[in-house]
Amino acid sequence: MSITEPPAIVGSLSPSRAGDYMTCPLLYRFRVIDRLPEKPSPAAVRGTLVHAVLERLYDLPPAERTVAAAQALLDPQWSRLLGETPEYASLFAGDDDRERWLAQARQMVERYFALEDPQRLEPAQREVYVEAVLDSGLQLRGYIDRLDVAPSGDVRVVDYKTGSAPGREFEAKALFQMKFYALVLWRLHGKVPRVLQLMYLGNGEVLRYSPDEADLRATERKVQALWQAIERSLTSREWRARRSRLCDWCDHQAICPEWGGTPPPVPDRRPGDTVRGARRAATDEL
């Protein structure tokens, strides 16, 4: 009996890095090829903190999963993050600034309880790393905040967002990340997740979507086309900058041609070595 060899891995992509290329190919280059450092923002670090609290909330017995218990996790988790990354302390102008920031995190944790009752849930997995290799050899990978499995075997993919829900014109972009995860799970287990659920703790809205195989095949075609575009950029060494409103939050304006800067020479490096890396932040991917 012959054994089919798995395809050789030609590259690796996560939802966040795919989003970078779609937003601005030059941003993708700076993050993945140049690997330029970026300053953490208060919003991103708050997202990491809230994600950590919600993950550890489910370590408690169901009856103890209350608002007060969840908010009590904020200070020790913040201390842990500071111990791991001391430069987070420089994000704040002073004690009052930090306390306002923590108060916003407390509000987000409380808002979570208005969206679902954690005493009635028992997640199958939390903060789970997943990866799958497509027939083309492209490796898809990322971290899923939470997986719920019903007695029927149906799977719900849950992602926490500490921002506000997008308008309808931007829902497709938000759902791309979730369809990406669903594609990975489908390729891993052969079953399409029943529900994709985005929980926006910034304004207390929930976006749900039920994918089917046609959705995920379309997502696979999109991901493959995106990787082909990245390969063309790698070959040509041309990474076009694309100006948008997101430029206001970019750390790399000083070396961006759209803002009068000059990028450094392109390193002789390919993206996505196949070694599992560390997650940059709970609001980000590999």
Tell me the pLDDT tens digit for each residue of 108-134: 999 999 999 999 999 999 999 999 999
Span 43-64, mean pLDDT? 98
Q: How confident is the model at residue 171 (pLDDT cuts 50, 70, 90)?
A: confident
What does the pLDDT read at residue 283?
A: 46
CA distance 143 to 58: 17
**13 pLDDT above the threshold of 50:** yes
The larger pLDDT score, comparing residue 274 to residue 261, is at 261
Q: Catalogue all structural domains in the chain, each as residue range(s) with its CATH number.
A: 11-18+122-233 (3.90.320.10), 42-120 (no CATH)
**285 pLDDT above the threshold of 50:** no
What does the pLDDT read at residue 286?
A: 47
Structure confidence by residue, pLDDT tens digits, 65-81: 999 999 999 999 999 99
**1 pLDDT above the threshold of 70:** no
Span 223-227, mean pLDDT? 98
CA distance 84 to 177: 28
What CA–CA distances, in Å, run from 113 to 55, 125, 161, 201, 209?
A: 14, 19, 14, 10, 21
**Could you give the angle at which helices 74-84 and 42-57 cross, rounded to 10 degrees?**
120
Which structure tokens are listed for 5?
Answer: 């060899």
pTM assigned to the model = 0.90
What does the pLDDT read at residue 7?
A: 79
Query: Judging by DSSP bridges, how do beta strands 11-13 and 195-200 pair with one another?
Result: unpaired
